[in-house]
Amino acid sequence: MPAFLLLAATLAAAPADTAPIECGACAEWNQPQAPFRLHGDSWYVGTKGLSAVLVATPEGLVLIDGALPQSAPLIAANVAALGFDLRDVRFLLNSHAHFDHAGGLAALQRLSGAPVLTTSAGARAMRRGATTHDDPQAGFGDKANGYPPIAVIQVIEDGGSVSVGDVVFRMHASPGHTPGGTTWTWRSCEGGDCRDLVYADSLTAVSAPGFRFSDDPPRVAEFRATIARVAALPCDLVVSAHPGFSGLFDKLAEREADPSRNALLDPKACQAYAQAGEDWLARRLAEEAAATPGD
């Protein structure tokens, strides 16, 4: 049986973990996107609005992020279109435990058998299949925030790493957008040209109604430390959890217009991405201050 037919049959046999989540942006986020090479053996395999990255090594594959539950078939199809087999995935990595980035992990775990690596805070959310009470978006409720829970999780500590073949994936804890967010870095080589790649967690100060970041100064300080940390990473190419926030497809269009250079490579990309996160947080704090009744 052709690989794509086998994949379709497998997904059809266990549809519960790919049942669509409905949200205002979900249909737009989940538009199909053809896979493309980032650099070396690192590939974009996500949708138009939700990133997922596959890294291939001779010793196996690593897949970062699962997008929505209904994104899992699209990600799996992109992996197969590149000639890879999901059963060769050794680890599933995650940016943060929200339904639009962790929602597809249960299905991808079923298809691959690979464990999900995350922080202890991320693991608490993934095991319950919804945000934890200390997440800024928890106020939306478990029904709105819910997604298929993850069965097999390995907790990794800040600064920890995992290796597949000669590729080392290092985790940088990125609390702020969520309590358990992570940013991942690795090096990818192409014809002797080795580059530092970054899969960056979301740096947006987004919350449910009624939540105020300014009511928790330590959380704000932690968020700003995360932003500074991302800005300081060795970074030749960045993919953000939402690709639009790092201008990924604009850069891809530049590369396609001028194939003589890889416009995805930008040594200032992490700094720009982090500055956008700092600007967002500053605006949010200013809005909260303006909404606070005067003394």
Task: Enter the tokens of residue 203.
Answer: 């740096």
CA–CA distances in Å: residue 49 to residues 6, 133, 149, 248: 26, 27, 22, 10
* 70 vs 91: CA distance, rounded Å: 20
Task: Enter the tokens of residue 292.
Answer: 């606070």
Half-sphere exposure of 185 (CA within 13 A, CB side): 20
Q: Is the pLDDT of residue 1 over 70?
A: no
Band (pLDDT 50/70/90 cuts) for residue 89 is very high
Would you state the pLDDT for residue 294? 57
Q: Is the pLDDT of residue 15 over 80?
A: no
pTM of the model: 0.94
10-20 mean pLDDT? 72
* Domain contains 1: no
Please, what is the average pLDDT of the chain? 94
Q: Is the pLDDT of residue 4 over 60?
A: no
* Domain contains 55: yes
User: 267-285: per-residue pLDDT in tens?
Assistant: 999 999 999 999 999 999 9
User: 223-247: per-residue pLDDT in tens?
Assistant: 999 999 999 999 999 999 999 999 9
Band (pLDDT 50/70/90 cuts) for residue 3 is very low
User: 36-67: per-residue pLDDT in tens?
Assistant: 999 999 999 999 999 999 999 999 999 999 99
- Domain membership of residue 265 as a residue range: 27-291
* Domain contains 15: no
Would you state the pLDDT for residue 7? 52
* Domain contains 18: no
* Domain contains 242: yes
Q: Is the pLDDT of residue 163 over 60?
A: yes
CATH of the domain at 271: 3.60.15.10
CA–CA distances in Å: residue 239 to residues 26, 266, 288: 20, 11, 30
Query: Where is average pLDDT lowest: 5-19, 63-77, 117-131, 281-295?
Result: 5-19
* Domain contains 134: yes
* Domain contains 68: yes
User: 171-217: per-residue pLDDT in tens?
Assistant: 999 999 999 999 999 999 998 999 999 999 999 999 999 999 999 99
* Domain contains 22: no
* 245 vs 125: CA distance, rounded Å: 24
**Tally of domains in the chain:** 1
Q: Which of 103, 80, 101 is nearest to 18 (CA)?
A: 103
CA dihedral sign of residues 146, 148, 152, 154: negative
Task: Bin 83: left if φ > 0, else alpha if -120 < ψ < 50, else beta.
Answer: left
Would you state the pLDDT for residue 111? 97
